[in-house]
């Protein structure tokens, strides 16, 4: 009796340990995937970028989507990135590989400004 | 911004097109109004006022079209236009052409004293005012005048 209880206990420990290892691998894998395929979105609406400032990790792809009724552009102050004219529901994406601050504006409406901070 | 600082005023971060466009619009509408008054009242003096307003409007279309095209080249780097921007460009050029035609009709009538202003000009001027209004409406959207400050 005591022997069978001992065997059952060891088996339970083995199953739990195995589950933990597999689960840990899964979470590690999931973390790596998130890191390589990280994205962020900036919405253009009512003559403003939302959020105005966004902080992302290096390698992140930021997508701007124009939800406004009129055309806008996304142009960085240093001309690092520059979109075409975005009509309603059109998108523009840029992948930030280097850390730094990237202020940008709409060239049609220069009062519209935003900033991407890459860490 | 200091309004007496000429350099800051000239290099302000807004397109000069938006500043200049008000002049031909106002002058042309005033010219058309005086032309209608001259037609109904049969007054030559009013026709003269209409002529000079239309002349001013025609002259102002030159810098307005030039600054509009420059804004397209500098702000959008001359990329292919579509949607509201394209419509604004087409209607703007059409408006400028109609303003020049209206003014040319008045010039011809003044040069040849015996020739009278054709009555169809009033219809042309009315159509021109409507197209200018639509162009300005689209321009207002584009300039962000309806947006938050």
Which of B75, B139, B146 best tests the A interface by mutation, with the highest count of A CBs <10 A? B75
Query: CA-nearest residue of chain B to A107?
Result: B75
Q: Which residues contact B66 (CB under 8 A, 6 or more apart)?
A: none
Contact flag A85-B82 (C-beta cutoff 8 Å): yes
A21-70: pLDDT as tens digits: 444 444 444 333 334 459 999 999 999 999 999 999 999 999 999 999 88
Residues of chain A with C-beta less than 8 angstroms from the C-beta of B18: none
Average pLDDT rounded to a whole number, residues B47-52: 95
pLDDT range class, residue B33, cuts 50, 70, 90: very high
Strand order from edge to edge, sheet including A75-76: A53-56, A113-118, A100-105, A75-76
Query: Over the Cα atoms of chain A, what is R_g?
Result: 24
Mean pLDDT of the residues in chain A: 79
Which of A85, A87, A88, A92 best tests the B interface by mutation, with the highest count of B CBs <10 A? A85
Q: What is the pLDDT of residue B148?
A: 59
Contact flag B76-A110 (C-beta cutoff 8 Å): no
How many alpha carbons fall within 13 Å on the CB side of residue B18? Answer: 17
């Amino acid at each position: 009796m005591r022997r069978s209880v001992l065997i059952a206990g060891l088996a339970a420990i083995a199953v739990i340990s195995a589950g933990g290892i597999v689960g840990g691998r899964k979470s590690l894998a999931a973390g790596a995937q998130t890191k390589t395929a990280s994205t962020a979105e900036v919405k253009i609406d009512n003559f403003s970028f939302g959020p105005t400032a966004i902080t992302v990790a290096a390698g992140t792809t930021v997508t701007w989507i124009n939800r406004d009724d009129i055309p806008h552009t996304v142009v960085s102050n240093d001309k690092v990135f520059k979109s075409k004219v975005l009509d309603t529901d059109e998108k523009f994406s840029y992948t930030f590989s280097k850390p730094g601050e990237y202020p940008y504006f709409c060239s049609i409406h220069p009062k519209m400004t935003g900033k991407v901070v890459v860490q | 911004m200091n309004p007496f600082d000429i350099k800051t005023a000239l290099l302000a971060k807004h397109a000069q097109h938006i500043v200049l466009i008000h002049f031909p619009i106002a002058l042309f509408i005033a010219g058309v109004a005086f032309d209608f008054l001259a037609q109904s009242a049969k007054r030559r003096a009013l026709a003269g006022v209409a002529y000079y307003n239309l002349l001013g409007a025609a002259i102002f279309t030159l810098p307005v079209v030039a600054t509009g095209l420059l804004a397209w080249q500098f702000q959008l780097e001359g990329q292919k236009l579509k949607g509201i921007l394209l419509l604004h460009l087409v209607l703007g050029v059409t408006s400028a052409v109609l303003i020049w035609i209206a003014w040319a009709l008045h010039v011809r009538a003044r040069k040849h004293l015996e020739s009278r202003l054709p009555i169809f000009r009033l219809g042309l001027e009315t159509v021109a005012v409507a197209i200018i209004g639509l162009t300005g409406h689209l321009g207002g959207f584009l300039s962000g005048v309806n947006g938050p400050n």
